[in-house]
Amino acid sequence: MPVTPPEQSFATAQVQAGFVSGVAQNTAVPPIYQSNAFEFSTLSEARDLFALRRDGNIYSRAANPTVLVFEERVAVLEGGIAAAGVASGQAAVALSLLALAKSGEHIVAARQLYGGTVDLLQDTFADWGIAVTFVDQDDLQAWADAVRPETRAFFAESVTNPIAQILDLRAVADIAHAAGVPVVIDNTVATPYLQRPKDFGADISVHSATKFIGGHGTSLGGVIVDLGTFDFSAEPARWPQLTEPYRRVAGGSLVERFGEKASPYIALVKTKYVHDLGPSLSAFNAFQLLQGLETLDLRMSRHSANAQLVAEFLEAHPAVARVHHPGLPSSDWHGLVETYLPRGAASVFSFDLHSTGDDAADFERVEQFIGRLHISRLVANIGDARSLVAHPASMTHSHMTPTQLAESGITSTTVRLSVGLEDPSDILRDFGAALDVV
Ligand SMILES: *Cc1c(COP(=O)(O)O)cnc(C)c1O
């Protein structure tokens, strides 16, 4: 412990006494490096760090040691080469695509996307001159037909929310690669435990770490992973942001500076988009997300097993019109489970109560059902340890047009579930009692 020199005045001591920067404390777990900025040992070191000539900590918007542990851990779990932790899943989706497509360019995206992603692609990207074509993700011809010379990415979710459709990723990736563009997969619902998109041809994966990665409903976060499979130097003219000299790096382009192995793509995400737009992941949230990652396999197995029981129970109940769960033989996507989700068919899915034919009466019916639940809670979130329910038509998807709702398979009686980690018999009893009322 440093001894505070006796001559330090009160005002100096209150900000400096008792601390020496850079001293290792041999903690057994990654600590929270709750520091905005980091001290340089010399000005030469600072100059090299700023020129990206060497790695090190400068300022937590750019990089933070707790966040780096989180990034490295997710990259390993996804089989990727590098990752960027960001403030939310929304930031992960936005930045992953901004690093690929600029004004005048184009993205092909699945129609079956998280509502926030639809808003981003349809409104904000349109404002910025980035065109998006939405296709039914099961229609392989539609993906191929949507490609234009200026297409720069394909985007889809490995397992969709709320209808739990499974993407035929291998087939979609083959079309993207034939067109020379990378595939970005939102792997939030599956997590790398249930599916590694890299195994099926994805090039970049993104997550709302807010959901299953954190797993406890306490911390927003997102992550972008370069899976290391896409060769941006194959057609350099298409990717000037990576292959042409980059003002922020001493000496040449990001590809020259970082090589394919160290991910020029993630370097671009961090040094340009996180740096300029500012959606950094906080050290505290990275710490929370690391706690979640440590039990990801255990939780995902339990979530999936519980969800399978709930799906089977609901399908057999007379008050239920339809259950959208790929683990059931009645699902159109059941045939893809063995290939894409062999460890469990995920725990976010939906079911429809019988409709009265009248939207207002349907709303009453759903309200009555949800009002009777005690274990499952009405919350606009997924991937929590607790079981959650939501009514997409009046909540997450309320601003969609009737056509968009119909295309997404959402009706006025669709109820979304995110089945939690409680004892499955309690979850089933709770649903049974509430359904008996409607
Ligand atoms: C929640 C979610 C997002 C957005 O993540 P936030 O952390 O809420 O910003 C993106 N994609 C999917 C599939 C999600 O479920």
CATH C-level class of 43-292 = alpha beta
Give the pLDDT score at 1: 47
Which residues does 141 contact at the CB level (< 8 Å), separation at least 6?
A: none
Chain segment 330-351, per-residue pLDDT in tens: 999 999 999 999 999 989 999 9
Distance 331 CA to ligand 1 centre (A): 24
> Which of 93, 112, 188 is the pocket-test mutation for ligand 1 (most atoms within 8 Å of CB)?
188
- Which segments in the chain show pLDDT lower than 50? 1
What is the position in ligand 1's atom list of the atom closest to the CA of 161?
A: 13
| Cα separation, 292 vs 133, whole angstroms | 35
Give the pLDDT score at 90: 98
Of 23, 52, 5, nearest in space to 252 by CA: 52
Distance 207 CA to ligand 1 centre (A): 7
Distance 355 CA to ligand 1 centre (A): 29
Rounded to a whole number of angstroms, the distance between the first and last alpha carbons of the chain is 67
CB 300 within 8 A of CB 342: no
| Cα separation, 162 vs 324, whole angstroms | 9
Give the pLDDT score at 3: 53
Handedness of CA 244, 250, 256, 260 (dihedral sign): negative
Domain 296-437 carries which CATH code? Answer: 3.90.1150.10
| Cα separation, 272 vs 342, whole angstroms | 38
Of 278, 236, 277, nearest in space to 260 by CA: 236
Distance 158 CA to ligand 1 centre (A): 13
Of 408, 425, 416, nearest in space to 165 by CA: 408
Question: What is the DSSP pairing of strand 183-186 with strand 204-208?
Answer: parallel
Distance 183 CA to ligand 1 centre (A): 18
Of how many residues is the chain composed? 438
* Sequence spans of domains, the chain: 43-292, 296-437
What is the position in ligand 1's atom list of the atom closest to the CA of 383?
A: 15
Distance 22 CA to ligand 1 centre (A): 36
Q: Find how far residue 293's CA is from the centre of its chain.
A: 14
Give the pLDDT score at 284: 98
Distance 206 CA to ligand 1 centre (A): 10
Give the pLDDT score at 4: 54
CB 382 within 8 A of CB 350: no
Give the pLDDT score at 248: 81
Place of tokens 């996180």: 274
What is the position in ligand 1's atom list of the atom closest to the CA of 93?
A: 10
Chain segment 390-425, per-residue pLDDT in tens: 999 999 888 888 888 888 889 999 999 999 999 999
Question: What is the DSSP pairing of strand 82-86 with strand 222-226?
Answer: antiparallel
Residue nearest atom 12 of ligand 1, based on CA coordinates = 114
Which residues does 147 contact at the CB level (< 8 Å), separation at least 6?
A: 108, 175, 179, 181
> Which of 90, 124, 204, 206 is the pocket-test mutation for ligand 1 (most atoms within 8 Å of CB)?
90
Exposed / middle / buried, residue 103 (Cβ in 10 Å: 0-12, 13-18, 19+): exposed
Residue nearest atom 8 of ligand 1, based on CA coordinates = 89
Which residues does 122 contact at the CB level (< 8 Å), separation at least 6?
A: 132, 134
Which residues does 286 contact at the CB level (< 8 Å), separation at least 6?
A: 32, 64, 66, 67, 69, 70, 85, 221
Give the pLDDT score at 407: 84
In this structure, the residues whose C-beta lies within 6 A of any atom of ligand 1 are 88-90, 93, 114, 116-117, 157, 161, 186, 188-189, 208, 210-211, 220, 222, 382
Distance 273 CA to ligand 1 centre (A): 19
Please, which residues bridge with residue 2 across strands?
A: none
Residue nearest atom 6 of ligand 1, based on CA coordinates = 89
What is the position in ligand 1's atom list of the atom closest to the CA of 90?
A: 9
Write the secondary structure of the chain as one string of H (helix), E (strand) and C (coil).
CCCCCCCCCHHHHHHHCCCCCCCCCCCCCCCCCCCCECCCCCHHHHHHHHCCCCCCCCECCCCCHHHHHHHHHHHHHHCCCEEEEECCHHHHHHHHHHCCCCCCCEEEEECCCCHHHHHHHHHHHHHCCCEEEEECCCCHHHHHHHCCCCEEEEEEECECCCCCCECCHHHHHHHHHHCCCCEEEECCCCHHHHCCHHHHCCCEEEEECCCCCCCCCCCCCEEEEECCCCCCCCCHHHCHHHHCCCCCCCCCCHHHHHCCCCCHHHHHHHHHHHHHHCCECCHHHHHHHHHHHCCHHHHHHHHHHHHHHHHHHHHCCCCEEEEECCCCCCCCCHHHHHHHCCCCCCCEEEEEECCCCCHHHHHHHHHHHHHCCCCCEECCCCCCCCCEEECCCCCCCCCCCHHHHHHCCCCCCEEEEECCCCCHHHHHHHHHHHHHHC
Distance 174 CA to ligand 1 centre (A): 26
> Which of 210, 285, 288, 395 is the pocket-test mutation for ligand 1 (most atoms within 8 Å of CB)?
210
> Which of 195, 208, 349 is the pocket-test mutation for ligand 1 (most atoms within 8 Å of CB)?
208
Distance 137 CA to ligand 1 centre (A): 19
Give how far Cα 66 sits from Cα of 166, 227, 254, 263, Å: 33, 21, 25, 20
Distance 262 CA to ligand 1 centre (A): 27
Tokens encoding 288: 């929370």
